[in-house]
Structures are given as C-alpha cells and as structure tokens.
Amino acid sequence: MYKYVVPERVLNGGTTDVYFKRTQDILKAEGINPVVVMEVFPGRDGILCGIKEDIALLKKILPKDAEVWALDEGEPMSRKEVVLRIKAPYQSFGLYETAICGYLSSSSGWATAAHECVAVAGGIPVTSFGARHVHPNIAAEMDYAAVVGGCNGCATILGAQMAGCKPSGTIPHALVLVMGDTLKATKAFDKHMPKSVARVALVDTFTDEALEAVRVSEALGKHLAAIRIDTPKERGGVTMDLVRELRARLDQAGMEHVGIFVSGGFSTEKIKMFTDNKVPVVGYGVGSQISSAPPIEFTADIHEIDGKPVAKRGRIPGVTENPRLKRVI
C-alpha cells in the first residue's frame, strides 16, 4: 500500500506563501501562540482527495495534544462544507496553510472530474490517460486522484502504484510508426508482452480504421481483446457512427470477441452521448477532461482562538457543526 512521504520542500516551508513564514517569525518574536481551530472547506461540490497527504503532513508537524477531524479520501463533499478541522497551537501549523489547501485543491479537482466521467459512462470502464498534459511532478498524483474519483485504472506506472492497481495502456502511435505497419506492431506486442497484458491494437495510424480493424483482428484472432481508435480531429475524430460501423464490420468478419476501446477528446458530454445512444464500446480512455480539470479552491478559516469563537468578517465565528467529520489525529 502506498504511503505518502512529505517532501523536504514542503516541510521546510519552501512551497508556502512567504507571509505565513513572516507571521510565524512575528508571533515567535511576540511570544504569541494560542490554540486555534482552523477549518477548511471547498468552493464547490465534489469528491475530496488529497486529505491523505494533509494528514501525513499534520502528523509530522503537530504536537501531541493537537486534534484533527476530517472526511475520508474519496468522500463526496458539498460547497462550504468543513472537510478538515485542526485544533492546535497556531505556531505548530500556521506555516503550512498554503500546502494544506494546495493538496486538496488540485487532487479534489481531478478526482471530481474523474467522478463526473464515470457517473455518465454507464458502467463502461474509464481509464485515466492524461498524464501528458500535466507537469511530471504531479502526473502520478493526478492519476491516483482519478482512481480515487472512480476510474478503473490509469496510465502512469507510479500513479497506478499509488492507487494500488496495475498501469493500463495499449499501443502508442509511436510504436506503429517506428515499426512501419499496424499489424507488425501488434504482432510484436503480442509476442513480447506477458500474457497478463491485454492485447489492444491501435488501428488509426496509417489508413482507414475499418480496414485495419478487420485486418488486425483476422491476423491475431482470439489473441486480440480489442482494437483502439483515437482518430485525429483532422479525420473526423471518434464518432458514434464510426464505432457502430466498426462493430458491424468486425461482426461480419466473425470478430464479435474483439471489443472497441475509444480515446481522444472524450469529455463528460461526449461520454454521456455515447452512453445515451448505447454505442458499443468496451472502455474509455480519458485525458484532458480529467487532467485539465480546474482545481477546487479550498479556504482555511480560523474559527476559535483559545476557546473563544472568532471569525473574519463574512464568516460565522465558532466551530462549524459537521457530524460527518471523523477524528483522525
């Protein structure tokens, strides 16, 4: 099971907004260190993710008698609902407000987008394929969040490890191009890959998908689990009609066992349209719908200082009730 190790750059305050560092310096100089209750809540509804990292960080930095309540990784949360409550001397954790919010913001954004895709996919598995659209420092974290949000699997090796599953993938255009032929590439894949890896042939690289799909299926026979189409926009993209025609042509060739796996521009709306129209696919590879999802903004507010309810203007003083919270530290 994956265990999060807080990196040095976070622990030493490198990634924090500098005014929290200055606040710490001032409070130390003044000798002020009250016990405060800080509450963290999201700016919109979604799936909570990143709380594991928050708790790992808090365990590392909080003193013994501190108390922390939180929702679980992967739980649904509502706008303005408190998902994390910390009660501890302010100096022990004030420096980390940036990181505490940041872990949740990015990861919950991805998990929520994944959840929305899965919700409309009608039970067809969705795989996270968007690592290429995010900085490698968070590619694995993004994939992990996608699985927390409901994806069946993800493409990066480290992301899969974090999420406790096997990495998923078919054949990239690069392999087909380098080998010069779709069938040759698929046969090489079949020859060298362990049996546990499903054979899924990419059939849109050189020529019409329908011809290639039948050619590759007939060559690999029962070895072939599925074909993948990722038709470029310049060739019309992946449409419902295309999938249906491929299904018909594969069936006419006696290749009912070969599934059709689709990727390329699958937004929530497009997946929903495929589901509503019962388009016969066996899996969706989803990229930027998840990986480019905007972060969910989290806000951290102080609501109590040394037992006294406080709040800045616009917020309600005192601890906010949320019976769903569980004590985690």
Closest separation between CB of residue 233 and a copy of itself, Å? Answer: 7
Contact 118, 148 (CB under 8 A): no
Round to whole Å and give the CA distance between 291 and 269.
16
- Is residue 208 involved in binding a copy of itself (CB under 8 A)? yes
Q: How far is the CB of 202 from a copy of itself (least distance, A)?
A: 9
Backbone angles phi, psi at 310, to 5 degrees: -140, 170
Site for a copy of itself in 119-138 (CB under 8 A): 129, 131-138
Give the shortest CB-104-to-a copy of itself separation in angstroms.
9
Q: Does 234 bind a copy of itself (CB under 8 A)?
A: yes
Is residue 269 part of the contact set for a copy of itself (CB under 8 A)? no
Contact call for residue 59 and a copy of itself (CB under 8 A): no
- Separation between Cα atoms, residue 77 and residue 213, nearest integer Å: 43
**Least distance (Å) from a copy of itself to the CB of residue 325?**
19
Residue 311: count of CB within 10 angstroms of its CB: 15
Does 14 sit near a copy of itself (CB under 8 A)?
Answer: yes
With CB under 8 A as the contact rule, the residue among 71, 279, 291, 325 that binds a copy of itself is 291
- The nearer residue to a copy of itself, 123 or 134, going by C-beta atoms, is 134
20 forms part of the interface with a copy of itself (CB under 8 A): yes
**What is the closest distance, in whole angstroms, from the C-beta atom of residue 118 to a copy of itself in the complex?**
20
Is 298 one of the binding residues for a copy of itself (CB under 8 A)?
Answer: yes
Q: Say whether residue 168 binds a copy of itself (CB under 8 A).
A: yes
Binder of a copy of itself out of 103, 261, 274, 284 (CB under 8 A): 103
Question: Per CB under 8 A, does 179 bind a copy of itself?
Answer: yes
- Spatial neighbors of 288 by CB under 8 A, at least 6 apart, are 130, 133
* Residue 93: exposure state from Cβ atoms within 10 A (0-12, 13-18, ≥19): buried
Return the DSSP state at 133: G
φ and ψ at residue 142, rounded to 5 degrees? -65, -45
By CB under 8 A, which span of 58-66, 68-76, 219-227, 314-322 interacts with a copy of itself?
A: 314-322
Contact 149, 49 (CB under 8 A): yes
Stretch that binds a copy of itself, among 60-68, 111-119, 150-158, 270-278 (CB under 8 A): 150-158
Give the helix/strand (H/E) hosting 118: helix 97-120
Q: How many residues bind a copy of itself (CB under 8 A)?
A: 114
Residue 303 CB burial class (10 angstroms; 0-12, 13-18, ≥19): buried
